[in-house]
Every structure is written in C-alpha cells, then in structure tokens.
Structure 1
Amino acid sequence: MLVTQPSSRATPLSVEDFARRNLDTLYRFAYALCGNRATAEDLVANAFVKCLPHWNNIRHSASGYMRRAIVNEHLNQVRRQSVTSVLSADLESEEDVAMRAVNTVDALRALETLSLMQRTVVVLRFIDGMSSGDIGKLLGKAPGSVRRITHEALQTLRSNGSPTETDNRAARE
C-alpha cells in the first residue's frame, strides 16, 4: 500500500530508483572500507538484502541505513576472517600473496595501519564527506568521540609516514 506523503517531503524512492542513483557511491564507500572490489560488491549486496525487508520504513533515510548496514557487514566479515585466518594461516598460496601485493595501493596500505574504528571514521569523513555529527549518529558515538578518533587516526597516518604525507614533504622540498 502506497502511503501518500505531505507535499513538503519528496516522494520516497523505490529500491530500484535508490540503487540506480546510489550504487556507485555505495560501492566506492564499501571499497574504501575493505580494499577489495569483490568484497565491496558483496558488502553492498548483503546490505541491500538486509535492508530490503524494511524498505518501507527506511526509504526516507535509506542512504544512512545502507551505509550502516555496509559498516556492520564489514565488521562481521572482519571478525569472521580473524578467526579463519588463525585457523588457515598456512593455507594461503604464494599466488594469493602476490596478487594481494599487486592490488594494494598506497592509500589502502596507509588505511590498513589504522584500527578498524579509525579506518571506518576516516573513510566516512574524508572519502564519503560526512560530518562528525553524521558519523557519530551512524556509529553510535558522540561527535566529540568521532573527532578524537579522527585526530588519532591522522596522527597514526602521519607517524607512519603515510604516502600522502611523504608526497607532500617531497613536493615542498
């Protein structure tokens, strides 16, 4: 049943319209979180699967719900992988290691030095362009905590000689 909305609000998007307008942005967001194209596609697909049954309730703020679902799915995968990696550390082939090294870019390497929370906040803030308040709402943290996490993440990147900081120093010299 279609519920009519007051004229001051835009017509809610269908799942298809939302996907058509936002899929690329959601993929970029997921890729920035995980650093792997296939995993990013899985994260977005799983987020759609989880949000679809609730679409009538969330479609007015679907973007936030989708991002949160992507973050949650990523956190779940990281937890599962940490257990699996301990159990199968010796099973990784040399080819897998080589392919991973080839596909790694400087920015992703720098992000990998951060904790999971720091990486999530940095991606949301600087890649997705969200404010501290919006990130706080999404992650269930106070805006001040988000700013502190961002500050600590930037300090870590600077102390590790992140590629962007190194490039900036080289450009100044």
Structure 2
Amino acid sequence: MRGGLVVQAGWEDQFVEYFGARAQPLRRLAYALCGDWHTAEDLVQLTFVRLYRRWSGIREESIDAYARQVLVNAFLTHRRARRRESLMADPPERAAGASDPTDGLAVRRLLADLAPRQRAAVVLRYLEDLPVAEVAALLDISEGTVKSQTARGLRSMRGTFDGAALTKE
C-alpha cells in the first residue's frame, strides 16, 4: 500500500523497466519530428504520462506501437497549436545547408521545413524504418496518403537541398 492506495504488484516495475529501455529511442523519434530537444523532452514526458495512465490496458505486444502513436499525436497537436506565424515584409536570409545531404544538420533543417504530416510520414518511414501500413495506422490516414505525403516530403526536401546547393555557388 502506497499513500493509501493499493498498488498492483509488478505493473509499476514493468512500466519503469519499459521507460528505462524506451525513453532514449522515443526521445530520438521526438527530436526527429520536432527538431528541438526541449520540445522533444516535453513530448516524451507527455507520452509516458499517457502510457502510465493506460498501462494496465495496453497489450504487451503493442506497447511500442501505442507509444509511437501517442508521441506522433502529441507532436501533431503541438504543431497545430504553434501554427500562429507572424508575417514579415522581407523574409530572413536562410543559412546555406551543408554540401552533403546526409549531414545531420542539413537533414534536420530540411525536415523542419516540411508540413507536420509530411514530416511525420518521412520520419516514421525512413528514420524509424516503419512499413507503410504501420505509418498509416499511426497517423490515422490511408496507405496511399502515407505514400503521397512521403513522396511530397522527399521531393520538397530534395528541391530545397538542390536550391540551397545552387545558391552556395
């Protein structure tokens, strides 16, 4: 008994063990989605709070999928809330990207410019290496939409990179 509550033996230990094993991978996923370590920490913390609340009802074989679902939903909600952008007469000059598209900083910059769903689709497909069907389930969209969002996101990233590479010369 803890603080007047009867605690079911073992489930909290399972949760603590899961947290220890999956916190870092979820932080990396959150960072890939949002591009900011502080926001990533907030998203992961929110994910684990929601997991804790539902822990006893989650099937063991689907915990990772559920955690990713919660994290992606938290990211998309966060992005919608931050959508208020200010207009400027002259946009600021953008720093030229690195010459190598596989450079982590260049990839993060390119991901940051994508729409939230495109970014989520690209990150889940290529950084998390999830199949189209699982990404569709996570984002609650059709498999065709996953494919088109991913293709548009990649096309946009390639176009931005090519444009940045051309302006550097």
Structure-2-length-normalised TM-score: 0.73
Shift of 1:161: 2.0
Shift of 1:152: 1.4
Give 3-state SS (helix, strand or coil) of 2:141's partner.
coil
Shift of 1:26: 0.4
Aligned to 1:50: 50
Q: Which runs of 4+ in 1 moved over 4 A?
A: none
- Work out the CA distance in 2 between the residues paired with 1:73 and 1:105: 24
- Work out the CA distance in 2 between the residues paired with 1:127 and 1:162: 21
1:125 aligns with 2:128: no
Shift of 1:162: 5.6
- Work out the CA distance in 1 between the residues paired with 2:146 and 2:128: 15
Aligned to 2:70: 69
User: Structure 2 matches for 1:7-86, cutoff 5 A?
Assistant: 14-60=14-60, 61-83=62-84, 85-86=85-86
Contact 1:68 1:139 in 2 (8 A): yes
Alignment gaps of 5+ in structure 2:
1-7, 89-103
Contact 2:27 2:40 in 1 (8 A): yes
Shift of 1:80: 2.0
Contact 2:72 2:138 in 1 (8 A): no
Contact 1:121 1:146 in 2 (8 A): yes
Contact 1:27 1:44 in 2 (8 A): yes
Contact 2:119 2:153 in 1 (8 A): yes
- Work out the CA distance in 2 between the residues paired with 1:117 and 1:79: 11
Aligned to 2:101: none
Give 3-state SS (helix, strand or coil) of 1:141's partner.
coil
Aligned to 1:112: 112
Q: Structure 1 residues 162, 50: CA separation in 2 closer, same or farther (over 3 Å shift)?
A: farther
Shift of 1:53: 1.3
Contact 1:30 1:70 in 2 (8 A): yes
Aligned AA for 1:73?
Answer: A
- Work out the CA distance in 1 between the residues paired with 2:46 and 2:148: 30
Shift of 1:30: 0.2
Structure-1-length-normalised TM-score: 0.72
Give 3-state SS (helix, strand or coil) of 2:109's partner.
helix
Aligned AA for 2:76?
Answer: L
Higher helix share: 1
Contact 2:69 2:139 in 1 (8 A): yes
Relative to structure 2, which stretch is displaced further, 73-82 or 123-132? 73-82
Aligned AA for 1:138?
Answer: L
**What is the CA RMSD across the aligned residues, in angstroms?**
2.7
User: Structure 2 matches for 1:117-156, cutoff 5 A?
Assistant: 117-156=117-156
Give 3-state SS (helix, strand or coil) of 2:161's partner.
coil
Give 3-state SS (helix, strand or coil) of 1:130's partner.
coil
Alignment gaps of 5+ in structure 1:
3-12, 91-103, 167-173
Aligned to 2:4: none
Identity percentage over the alignment? 30
